[in-house]
Every structure is written in structure tokens, then in C-alpha cells.
Amino acid sequence: MTTSRFDPQAELSDDVRSRFYIGGHWVLPNSKETASLVSPTTEKSFLSVPLADRRDVDDAVRAARKAFDTGPWPLMSAAERSDYLRRLSGAVASRMQLLSRLWTAEVGAPVWFADLFTPTATAMLEYYAELSLSFPFKEHRQTRGGHARVLRQPVGVTALIAPWNAQLPILAYKLSAALAAGCTVVVKAPPETPLDALVLAECAHEVDLPPGVLNVITADADRGAHLVANVAVDKVSFTGSTATGKVIAKTCADRLARVTLELGGKSAAIILEDAELEPTLASLSPYTMPFSGQICFAQTRILVPRNREQEIVEAYSAVIGGLNVGDPWDETTQIGPLANRRQFDRVLRYIDVGRSEGARLATGGKSCERFERGYFVEPTIFSGVTPDMTIAREEIFGPVVTVTAYDDVDHAIALANDSDFGLSGTVFTTDVERGYDVARQLKTGNVSVNGLEMSPNVPFGGFKQSGVGREGGPEGLSAFLEDQAIYLPSEAQPSKLA
């Protein structure tokens, strides 16, 4: 096993390694606390970074508040902000390779995966730059007494909180919409993967984003809670576990702060009886455990017709058992390590639970013994899984997939919907209209027929305990806006109104 091929001293600026970005400046933290970044491949620390204390959190909120209340940002035209977003996208594009490498260094995403999905960041910035040029920030409506101007105003100071697994793409969804809306932002980067957000701050500084519009601190859960509780924060946009989402929602409810929650998933892939196995497995397999299953939309419950169960389990196990598990820096590696020790222990615990509850191991089922170091777990498939089993109900967030047999299509739909979650889902069939008909009966925010796609212009988010609200598309922009209606007498001329 090679060691990490990333040298933070050489590849990152001193600002990114040791400071926070607040009010347009790189500032030394008040706090003396630090977090150690540990390579999932070598289990060795490769960098120590500062962690915010409450004063740092409050400083960031104050800067965002000032920028919103007295700065130019919320008052700019959509076209002016669009121009900033494009320039920010350009600055991010010029650091694409670095940002991709950070994903591999911090969480062990294989290089092919990181290279493929890091450009999500520029795609989101470009999308919202374009959308804001045509979005109806102002509308004019006739009323009985005259007219009403309906304004979509920025919601205010927003706190953006994302998990460690895919920090940059998740942040890009939030940040690009928040900025396009005219909000100011405090990003609380997670202690496991703080560097991406700080590199984004470097980009913002380079394009002269007005001071205080973007503020970035690295903080743990406790300081995250302090940020959410700050009354100067108007909106929280959170991605993470359902458990944390509920805590955040309760805090926001106290003052009715706006909140968007993108939470966990336990998504079902329904293979209909008419599906051809080879193309189905070719398009399904990458999404059952992408990035070692540490993605919210992973298709982790595979539902198969009972009369094809054995055939599908054998073919799918051969595909998954043949994946190349190894060093994420190696171009040929398909599955890398889990991101950290906590994940590693958690996933192995779930595998034990699966066994003890009577599920059959079709492939995998333990840590990879051939590696002396690193958080490697074999890609694992359980068959004979019933819907009451823990591994069919709880989000494992690892390379562990369950196969459950169904009797007919209605049973498949009922099984898919028998979940507290409702984030994603897939249907595989040779009859795409029938696939659509099944898809619309699934209680989940996103469903793809014969594959899995996510597009910047389409809303993403969850039903049930997978979340509240949407990101992406015009819906994601609306989430950072408040509707304001201004009634005017009939003599007011629309052309004279700002």
C-alpha cells in the first residue's frame, strides 16, 4: 500500500492550513483547539487544523450580518451577482485538480471518483449564475385596488453545514444558490474535511467577493450547534444525518428560523421481472456502493423478483466481488477505504448484526485482511434479507447492500416504501413507461429509471425522514428567498419601480 500522495505543506497556502476566512480577511483563530486530519489509507495524521471556539463562530456570524445589513451584496442586481458566481466558478476551475486531490486525501475517495464528481462545484456555480439571469425575482400582478409587486428577497444570513463525505459538491449546491439569492453565508466546515471550504474561500478572495459575504470556519458539532442557535442566523441549510437534522430543526423552530434539511437515505433499487440482467447490473452496480457506500443516495436495498432471486444474487455478487479494492490514489482502484475509524467500526458492527439476524452473506463480510493499514471493508452483499432486519432499515453508510425478494410489482413498491427514509430510488425494466409508472408510486424525492442521474437544474431532496426542502433547480434558489408582497395604488407605474 502506498502512502498518501498529497503534501499539504507544498500544495496548500498557509492561510488555508492555519486560518479562518472572516469578513474578507484571513484571521488567526481565537481558539487554540486543533483537529488532526488522518489519512484513511495510512491511518496517519497528515495535517493539524484549527477548530473554532464560540468567539470564532460569533465573529463569523457578525461579519455575515454586517455584510447583509449594510453591505452591497443583497442590493446588487441579479446580473451583478451572476457575474461574481461565474468568476468564482473560474477560480474554482483553476483549482480543480487540487480540490479533487483533497477528496482523496481527506476521505479516501478513489481518484477516478473524485475526478468525476469534483466538477459538480463549477456546474452548480454556472447553473445558478445562468438561472439568476432569468429567475422571477420580481413579478407584477394586477389587484382589485391597483397592483402588487411580488419580490423574492434574500432570506438573510445563512449557515451552511455539510458532512465530511462530499464536502465540496454539497457545499456548492448550497453556496451557489445562497449567493445567487443575495444571502450572506457562514460555512461551518466539518473537522474531518475542512480544507475544501477554505480553498473555496481562497477563490472568493481572489474574485473580490465583498467582505463578509462568505465566511468560513472549521468547527465541531458543539460549535455547530452554537452557530445554529445564534439569533443573527436567519436560515440554516444542513446536510448530514437524520439524528442531527432533528436537533437542528428543533433549535430553528424556537425562533422559526428557516431551515433546509438534506438527510440520510436507505434507497431501493427495484429490478422488475422483465429487466435484462447484464445492462441492469452494469448501470446499477456503480450506485449500490459508490465511494464505499458513503453517499446518501446509494441504492442499498435491491428488490428482486422471487423467481429470479438466485440468478440475480449470483450475477450481482460476481460483479461486486470482482471490484478492485485498494489504494484510492491508484487509478485502477474502484473501491477505496472508509473515511475514518468511526465509519470502519460502524460498518463492521452492522455486518455482525446482519449475520446475527439471519441474513445470508453472498459476498464480502469483513475487513480486508490483505491491507496492514487503512479502513478497508470488503464490498458486502446480504441476500435473504427481510424488511424487519436492522440492515434493511438503518442507514449503514458503507459498502453493504441488501437483497430482498418480492412476489409482484405491488409488493416491490410496498417494500420500497416501507422505510423511514425517502431520498432516492431506481427502477430497472425494458419498458420505460412502466418504469415511470412504478417510479411515481415511490415515496421518495428522486427516482431514476434504468440508471441514476442528478442534474443541477432538477431539485434534489427527501421525503419523510430524508429531509425537508430541496436543493438544485429553481426550487433550490427559492429556498434562500422570502416572498414579499408590496401593494401599490393603480397610479404606480411598473416601469418606474426598482
Residues that bind ligand NAD (CB under 6 A): 161, 163-166, 170, 190, 220-221, 224-225, 228, 239-241, 244, 247-248, 262-265, 296, 395, 397, 423, 462, 467
Strands 45-50 and 34-38: antiparallel
Residue 119 or 398: which CB sits closer to ligand NAD? 398
Residue nearest to ligand NAD (CB): 224
Residue 120 CB, shortest distance to ligand NAD, in Å, is: 12
Residue 170 CB, shortest distance to ligand NAD, in Å, is: 6
Separation between Cα atoms, residue 101 and residue 460, nearest integer Å = 26
Residue 221 CB, shortest distance to ligand NAD, in Å, is: 3
Separation between Cα atoms, residue 413 and residue 225, nearest integer Å = 38
Separation between Cα atoms, residue 156 and residue 67, nearest integer Å = 10
Residue 196 or 327: which CB sits closer to ligand NAD? 196
Residue 360 CB, shortest distance to ligand NAD, in Å, is: 26
Contact (Cβ atoms closer than 8 angstroms) between residue 421 and residue 466 = yes
Residue 244 CB, shortest distance to ligand NAD, in Å, is: 3
Residue 374 CB, shortest distance to ligand NAD, in Å, is: 19
Residue 328 or 462: which CB sits closer to ligand NAD? 462
Residue 327 CA: distances (Å) to CA of 166, 334, 363: 19, 9, 21
Q: Does the active-site annotation cover 206? A: no
Residue 187 or 270: which CB sits closer to ligand NAD? 187
Separation between Cα atoms, residue 425 and residue 270, nearest integer Å = 8
Catalytic residue among 106, 126, 262, 395: 262
Residue 156 or 264: which CB sits closer to ligand NAD? 264
**Sequence-ordered list of residues with C-beta below 8 angstroms from that of 118, at least 6 positions apart, any chain:** 96, 99, 100, 103, 168, 169
The sign of the torsion formed by the CA atoms of 313, 318, 319, 323 equals positive
N-term to C-term CA, the chain: 62
Residue 59 or 395: which CB sits closer to ligand NAD? 395
Following DSSP, what letter does each residue of 294-361 receive, concatenated? -STT-EEEEEEEGGGHHHHHHHHHHHHHTS-B--TTSTT-SB---SSHHHHHHHHHHHHHHHHTTPEE
The sign of the torsion formed by the CA atoms of 473, 202, 159, 212 equals negative
Cell of 259: 431551515
Contact (Cβ atoms closer than 8 angstroms) between residue 472 and residue 173 = yes
Residue 294 or 404: which CB sits closer to ligand NAD? 294
Residue 218 CB, shortest distance to ligand NAD, in Å, is: 9
CA 365 to chain centre: 27
Backbone angles phi, psi at 396, to 5 degrees: -90, -35
Catalytic machinery residues: 262
